[in-house]
Chain A
């Protein structure tokens, strides 16, 4: 199983600022994903982080708001840009192999925007 380290674990940010969340996997993985979990709700996929190319975003999420990097097979970042209180959520990184292999999750980043 893959061990995923995600940081920061929580942050409180001011409206209009940006926060970058880091996700580090202890082994090379094919797939990395970023999810958002709004308060009291389920997980929603933001995007697939592609190594060496632009991320693939789901409907309702755009690169200007959620830029993602994936410079190698073990690391990815998600930036939440120009934050508003509506961005207050848990953001989770996940990683795994191809074709519905087990996906493992980081411990999440609890973001509060004032």
Chain B
């Protein structure tokens, strides 16, 4: 069974600074996808970024980028120029056949 581990229960960053959230996973499959979701207090799960395992190039979405290390089974999220609206719980997820396995989450605080 696949597992996803987020070793940082909480992180904080100053507004306009950069922060990196860590995620590792375990799988024996070769074809899969990885995701970062954001969950603000509204409970809405918002897709931040998605990475296909077969692609070596790291995904980027505006201020959000990932560092995907397939051999190390590592998938970290970098948030640049942090904004107050980035404050939320961030979940790393492993996807196989559209079924997602989530990590335990990292609560991100953005300090003004």
Contacts and interface: CB of A to CB of B under 8 A. Distances in A.
Do A and B associate with each other? Answer: yes
Interface of A: 30-31, 33, 41-45, 48, 90, 92, 94, 96-105, 107-108, 110
A45 B105 CA distance: 15
A97 B33 CA distance: 14
Interface stretch (B10-18, B43-51, B62-70): B43-51
Interface string B80-112: 000000000001000111111111110000000
B44 A105 contact: yes
Given A42-B105, A102-B50, A97 B98 contact: yes
Nearest to A30: B98
B44 to A, nearest CB: 5
Given A42-B91, A42-B105, A100 B97 contact: yes
Contacts, number: 58
Interface residues of B, number: 24
Contact of A108 (B43, B96, B99, B103): B43
A103 B78 CA distance: 21
A94 B43 contact: no
A31 B102 contact: no
Contact of B98 (A92, A103, A107, A108): A103
A99 B98 contact: yes
A93 to B, nearest CB: 10
Contact of A103 (B42, B91, B95): B95
Q: Which 9 A-B pairs have the closest CB atoms?
A: A105-B45, A100-B33, A108-B43, A100-B95, A42-B102, A31-B98, A43-B102, A42-B104, A107-B44
Interface in B21-54: 32-33, 35, 37, 42-47, 50, 52
